[in-house]
Amino acid sequence: MAASTHEHAHHEESFVSKYIFSQDHKMISKQFLLTAIVMGLIAMILSTLFRIQLGWPEQSSDILHAFLGDRWAPNGILDRNMYLGLVTMHGTIMVFFLLTGGLSGTFSNLLIPLQIGARDMASGFLNMLSYWMFFISSVIMVISLFVETGPAMAGWTVYPPLSALPQAVPGSGLGMTLWLVSMAIFIASSLLGSLNYIVTILNLRTKGMTMLRLPLTIWAFFVTAVLGVLSFPVLLSAALLLIMDRTMGTSFYLSDIIVGGEMLDNTGGSPLLYQHLFWFLGHPEVYIVLLPALGLTSEVISTNARKPIFGYKAMITSILGIGFLSFIVWAHHMYVTGMSPFLGSLFVFTTLLIAIPSAVKVFNYLTTLWRSTAIYTPQMLFSIALVSTFITGGVTGIILADSALDIAVHDTYFVVAHFHVVMGLSAVFGMFAGVYHWFPKMYGRMMNLRIGYVHFWLTLISGYGVFFPMHFVGIAGAPRRYYDYSVYEGFDMNQFNIIMELNVIISIFAIIGLLAQGLFLYNFFYSIYRGPKAVQNPWRGNTLEWTTPVEHVHGNWPGALPVVHRWPYDYSKPGADEDFILQTVPLAEGETEDH
Amino acid sequence: MKFIALIVIVLAILAVAQLTRIYELTSKLRNRNETDVDYRDNKMNANLLLLFGIGMFVSYIWMIARYGAGGNGVAASVEGVEYDWLFGVNLILISAIFFVTNGLLFYFAWKYHAKPGAKAYYYTHNTRWELMWTAAPAAVLSVIIVMGLVQWSDRTGAAGENAVVIELYSKQFDWAVRYSGQDNTLGKFDYKLINTTNPLGLATTETIAARVEELKIEIEDLEARINDPNTVYSVTVLAEMKESLATKERLYVRLLQLQENHDPAWDASSLDDIVQPANITLVLKKNQEYDMYFRAQDVIHSAYFPHFRAQINTVPGMVTRLKFTPSITTKEMRAKMKDNNFNYILLCNKICGASHSNMKLIVEVLDENEYDVWWAEQVATKTFGLQAASAPESAE
């Protein structure tokens, strides 16, 4: 705040204000990243635990016993309720804490001020508050894993009445209360962050940085923040109504229920109301997760292909189009919930429309690669992988968006495979690309290239190895969130054999995938302290962050703010000496800015 | 044992990491900049990308060949056959998109890797191309949308005049069935009427009166316990009892309203219904269209008939429906699958608690003759009117 008007370089700070309650966007970005890595790791371990159960059902496992103890894995056999708890917490942590809080929190914070030429976020204080609320909500969510009755067990969407009735499943007791408290704080954090991003992008761009000279990362973060501001409050209201139903005897979502031998007097509520409110956030949420990843890879692909991103304006239009459409597609999650079929028809139409801007993005990526000179850094490899998963996961979305086809694959592993490929893998790949690319900017050192390669190849192969066969598990009719598939043994051995054969393959790849992240963790933490020192512009990029000094300073630029003269994608421009031209370089005589 | 394996794996990762470090240090000695990608690495990764793309395509084709794309075995309903056709059309289409776009991606990634002396082509946009690849997906999607919506309106529209009405009732963790009887109409119901003799809460003058009486006794008992001068309750137990009493009193008031509004003329449609306790096979007739209605008692469940390609959620407080026409009997299907233990099934497909994965009901499709025999037996023994008539005596 006041400090930002002072001399920056020699500003003395205490340990607490520099590393803990920092208001500097670069430090906050690192805090988000570290928290997200921890949360991502927890969520991945949770998934490995239930994959052990799915691959080798009800076999005694020391690993399960070591993590879950006698309470939840007596004799090493996973408890049925805890299975649901693991599934629920894996989903919740991955979607919200890694891919929403972690991804946007890290890269919006790091890149918005650096790439638009601002000294810091519009409000450093709100930014700090946003991180600490995220931290507190993360801690509460993790604590909920350890309560006596277990964590929330109603799936990450926590549909009532299951999530409202502790009699129906033990996790709907204290575990669910903590889930709701954590999410309420998380939403507040997300809103503070998003408002800050929007205000900063709109108001603090440096001289010459017009909206049509913004890097695509910033456009993606901007639309993401707008989506967050418009949709998260709806989830908050859904959560508040659920809290009231759970504690104050209201009947927003409850009606005509007998549970645990007890007849409840709730009447007139509708479980579908919750689903509408939830998915009104839930679908934009998919793009809150995806758009930043697409923004990051747009930047990474252009820089490493040494070629301008093809169709810059079409890319912006696509981002805006996806952002707008994401608000009118939510009920495609609800075709078979008992919602009016006519409403379903409308949502088929709007949902399939979203394939158009998505296709445009894919074709533009392909054309960017065409006649490029691609340099395969790990971030470039992860970006290529993202385009691949975006395609592979996107096309199965065409089947799921079609209500008539959704009927038989709804809530099967086909859906699980679809969204893990298009949203999970894509967003994680985008996040890895971001970490590898901007690591020198964050820590002033370089990550190891070769470990990066091994990490990438293991991650890509295990990622596809897990989710590609999973489509076939779904087509074979395996419902999701099943503790095991022994039910099939009683009526159809053929399907049972398919499901079990594939489940073993999937679980093996899942374990490889988890172990591969050990390489990343080693590379990441080792390089923070011992990696080779970075140069100012290691990837020879055009954007403004590469004009800042390697050593972080308060206010980002030691002297005056840079002035922008051109768009960010002048790579390999004919007539230029180098294959990149920084945005701060004025147009040469006779040079035009045509894009 | 497994722990040792885990430790070995972790150590292996650390060893790989250390080897990489050594490599890094030696290349520093040889004066190479380790953080820059050299052309050899670049070519290797480009080749690996192409290889990966090919591997992915081969594994896709292999999985299609091995596991099939036709869904969960042969479709056993008229609607399911149409469903499989549409699914097949869509699958071919998306497979084509998958092959072409992923193919181009990995091909470009391989072909255009940086080589000594190569320079990228400065190419920023081409409006004509961009319009084309906006219009092309739009055209393909319109076809998909139209085909899908035609089938969707068929599947969700009103059932034919000859459709037989059935109700399925779900609760943790089983399914019960109600056949609509001679009049093909399901009698009225209310969840407040549910008790041991009336598990689906059918509303007749008699069941309402019985339930009013039952609840009245429950309330009196509870009041007596609360006011019992010889027992001292803890504060929490007393609060719970008082809350329970208040709930029962509210339910009682609503039951009286229900009684007041009930028209005895409605009884007939309930009395001829055939109510089957939970976990007894759902029996259907081949080539008969069924109009199915669904209710849930506690949480949301989902009625998933994989072989008939049909699914709908069951939701507390509302009635949902679907329809389909079984077209292959269980016996015919067993012969087709060469599996004498094969059965059609109804699975729960919405997370509903610990035994979610065991919540099932066997479905049997009979041909007309077998069905008629079975049906006569049900009418004679399980008609709700008969059960209700004998119930009060045994209750007293």
pLDDT per residue over A543-564, tens digit each?
A: 999 999 999 998 999 999 999 9
Give the 3-state secondary structure of residue A112.
helix
- Partner A, chain B 34-73, Cβ-Cβ below 8 Å: 34-35, 37, 41-42, 45-46, 48-49, 52-53, 56, 59-60, 63, 67-69, 71-73
Instruction: Report which residue type is found at A446.
Output: M
Q: Which residues contact A490 (CB under 8 A, 6 or more apart)?
A: B341, B343, B360
CA dihedral A471, A80, A504, A99 (to 10 degrees): 50
Radius of gyration of chain A, Cα coordinates, nearest whole angstrom: 24
Q: Cβ B121–A572 below 8 Å, yes or no? A: yes
- pLDDT value, residue B117: 85
What's the confidence (pLDDT) of residue B145? 92
- Mean pLDDT confidence for B336-354: 93
The domains of chain B are located at 1-36, 38-156, 165-189+269-395, 204-261
A133 membership: H or E segment, kind and range: helix A124-143
B106 to chain A: which residues are within 8 Å by CB?
384, 388
A4, pLDDT greater than 50: no
* Residues of B with Cβ-Cβ distance to A387 under 8 angstroms: 105
Within 8 A of A255 by CB-CB distance, chain B residues are: 316-318
pLDDT at B393 over 70: no
Strand partners, B292: B166, B322
**pLDDT category, A12, cuts 50, 70, 90?**
low
Options 2.60.40.420, 3.40.50.2300, 3.40.50.720, 1.10.1270.20; which CATH number does B165-189+269-395 get?
A: 2.60.40.420
CA-closest candidate to residue A357, choices A299, A316, A418: A316
- Lowest model confidence (mean pLDDT) among A186-190, A390-394, A426-430, B338-342: B338-342
Question: What pLDDT band is residue B2 in, cutting at 50, 70 and 90?
Answer: low
pLDDT surpassing 80 at residue B142 = yes
Query: What is the distance between the alpha carbons of residues A68 and B80, in angstroms, rounded to a whole number?
Result: 43
- Kindly state the average pLDDT of the residues B234-259: 95
pLDDT tens readout for residues A135-183: 999 999 999 999 999 999 999 999 999 999 999 999 999 999 999 999 9
- Whether the CB-CB separation of A149 and A141 falls below 8 Å is answered with no
> In angstroms, rounded to a whole number, what is the distance separating the alpha carbons of residues A306 and B292?
61
- The type of residue at A389 is T
The CA distance from A370 to the nearest CA of chain B, in Å, is: 6
Q: What is the mean pLDDT of residues A113-128?
A: 95
CA distances from B246 to A199, B243, B249 (A): 52, 5, 5
For the cut 50, the answer to whether the pLDDT of residue A48 exceeds it is: yes
Q: Report the pLDDT value the prediction gives residue A589, as an integer from 0 to 100.
A: 84
- Cα separation, B92 vs B140, whole angstroms: 13
Subunit contact B72:A359, Cβ cutoff 8 A = no
Residue A2: the pLDDT is 42
Give the pLDDT of residue B69: 64
Check pLDDT > 70 for residue B389: no
Q: What sign for the dihedral angle of Cα A137, A141, A146, A148?
A: positive
Task: Tell me the pLDDT tens digit for each residue of A247-286.
Answer: 999 999 999 999 988 999 999 999 999 999 999 999 999 9
- pTM for this entry: 0.94
The residue assigned the tokens 């990441």 is A524
Q: What distance in Å separates the CA atoms of residue A295 and residue B183, rounded to the nearest whole number?
A: 62
DSSP letters along B52-80, please? HHHHHHHHHHHHHHHH-SSSSSS--BHHH
In B109-128, the residues whose Cβ lies within 8 Å of chain A are: 109, 112-115, 118-126
User: Residue B388 above 60 pLDDT?
Assistant: no
Which residues of chain B make contact with A57, given a CB cutoff of 8 A?
Answer: none
- Residue B145 has its nearest CB partner, among A257, A349, A487, at A349
d(CA B250, CA B252): 5
Residue of A88, A154, A102 whose CA lies nearest to A288: A102
CB count within 10 Å of CB A182 equals: 23
Could you tell me the pLDDT band of residue A8, with boundaries at 50, 70 and 90? very low
User: A with B: how many residue pairs have Cβ under 8 Å apart?
Assistant: 404
pLDDT tens, residue by residue, B81-104: 999 999 999 999 999 999 999 999
Q: What's the pLDDT score for residue A584?
A: 95
Q: What is the pLDDT of residues A262-273, one digit of tens each?
A: 999 999 999 999
- Determine the distance in angstroms separating the CA of B326 from the nearest CA of chain A, rounded to an integer: 15
Residue contact B151–A408, C-beta within 8 A: no
Q: Backbone phi, then psi, for B125, in 5-degree steps?
A: -165, 165
Q: Report the 3 state secondary structure along A555-594.
A: CCCCCCCCCCCCCCCCECCCCCCCCECCCCCCCCCCCCCC
Q: Which residues of chain A have a CB within 8 Å of the CB of B48?
A: 457
What does each C-alpha distance from A19 to A24, A116, A256 come to in angstroms?
Answer: 9, 24, 53
User: Binning pLDDT at 50, 70 and 90, where does residue B387 land?
Assistant: low
Q: Map residue A178 onto helix, strand or coil.
A: helix
Tokens of A26: 């670069």
Task: Single out the residue of A440, A185, A197 nearest to residue B36, CA to CA.
Answer: A440
Contacts of A306 in chain B (CB under 8 A): 114, 119-120
Cα distance between residue A144 and residue A149, in whole Å: 9
Angstrom distance (rounded) from CA A194 to CA A175: 28
Range 124-163 of B in CB contact (< 8 A) with A: 124-126, 129-130, 133-134, 136-138, 141, 144-145, 148-149, 151-153, 155-157
Instruction: Say yes or no for a CB contact (<8 Å) between A404 and B152.
Output: yes
Residue A455 DSSP SS3: helix
Instruction: Name residue B166's beta-bridge partners.
Output: B179, B292
- Chain A's closest residue to B189, CA to CA, is A256
CA angle, residues B221, B222, B225, in degrees to nearest 5: 90
How far apart (Å, rounded) are the C-alpha atoms in residues A300 and A429?
12
Q: Which of A10-19, A59-68, A501-510, B164-173 has the lowest mean pLDDT?
A: A10-19
Q: Please indicate whether, in this complex, the C-beta atoms of A391 and B93 are within 8 angstroms of each other.
A: no
The 3-state DSSP class for residue A477 equals coil
More confident residue, A20 or A198: A198
Asked if B94 has any chain A CB less than 8 Å from its own CB, the reply is yes
pLDDT at B396 over 60: no
For the segment B60-81, the average pLDDT, to the nearest whole number, is 86
pLDDT at A445 over 60: yes
Instruction: Provide mean pLDDT across the span A330-344.
Output: 94
Of the listed ranges A585-594, B11-20, B307-316, B317-326, the one predicted with least confidence: B11-20
Over A352-364, what HEC string results? HHCHHHHHHHHHH
Residue of B nearest to A482 (CA): B357
C-alpha B31/C-alpha B27 separation (Å) is 6
- Partner A, chain B 188-217, Cβ-Cβ below 8 Å: 191-192, 194
Interface contact B105-A579, CB threshold 8 A: no
Decide if pLDDT at B16 tops 90: no
Distance of alpha carbon A249 from alpha carbon A240, whole angstroms: 13
Are the Cβ atoms of B141 and A448 closer than 8 angstroms?
no
> Is residue A261 left, alpha or beta, with left meaning phi > 0 and alpha meaning psi from -120 to 50?
left
Instruction: Report chain A's mean pLDDT, rounded to a whole number.
Output: 93
Give mean pLDDT, residues A203-215: 96
**Residue B23: per-residue pLDDT:** 72
Residue in this structure with the two tokens 């209700």, named with its chain if needed: B388
Flag whether pLDDT at B394 surpasses 80.
Answer: no
Nearest in space to A179 (alpha carbons), one of A144, A154, A136, A134: A144
Distance from CA of B131 to the nearest CA of A (A): 9
Which pLDDT value is given to residue B385? 85
The dihedrals phi and psi of A486, each to the nearest 5 degrees, come to -60, -25
User: With 80 as the cut, is the pLDDT of residue A13 above it?
Assistant: no
Residue A287 pLDDT > 80, yes or no?
yes
* Cα B217 versus chain centre, distance: 40
Structure confidence at residue B34 (pLDDT): 57
Residue type, B340: N
Whether the per-residue pLDDT at B151 is higher than 90: the answer is yes
Q: Which two tokens stand for residue A364?
A: 């533009």
Burial of A398 (0-12, 13-18, 19+ CB in 10 A): buried
CB contact under 8 A, B90 and A476: no
**What residue in B sits closest to A272 (Cα-Cα)?**
B315
Residues 377-396 of B with CB under 8 A from A: none
Inter-residue contact B159 to B323 (CB < 8 Å): yes
Contact B315 A337 (CB under 8 A): yes
Query: Which residue is closest to B319 within chain A, CA to CA?
Result: A338
Q: CB A395 to CB B97 under 8 A?
A: yes
Distance between CA A590 and CA A236 in Å, rounded?
54
Chain B residue numbers with beta carbons less than 8 Å from the beta carbon of A307 are: 120-123
| Confidence category of residue B31, pLDDT binned at 50, 70, 90 | low
Q: Is the pLDDT of residue A493 over 90?
A: no
Name the residue type at position A457. Answer: W
Dihedrals phi, psi of A152, to nearest 5 degrees? -55, 140
pLDDT above 90 for B32: no
- Does any CB of chain A come closer than 8 Å to the CB of residue B368? no
What average pLDDT does the segment A344-361 reach?
93
Cis peptide preceding B199, ω within 30 of 0 = no
* CA separation for the pair B189, B317 (Å, rounded): 12
User: Mean pLDDT for chain B?
Assistant: 91
Sort out which chain A residues have CB atoms less than 8 A from B298's CB and list them: 161, 165, 168, 257-259
Question: Which residue of chain B comes nearest to A335, CA vs CA?
Answer: B312
Looking at this protein, which amino acid is placed at residue B319?
V
* Chain A interface, best mutation among B299, B321, B365, by max A CB count within 10 A: B299
| B175-216: pLDDT as tens digits | 999 999 889 999 999 999 999 999 999 999 999 999 999 999
Question: What distance in Å separates the CA atoms of residue A128 and residue B196, rounded to the nearest whole number?
Answer: 59
Q: Where does the pLDDT of residue B333 fall: very low under 50, low under 70, confident under 90, or very high at 90 and above?
A: very high
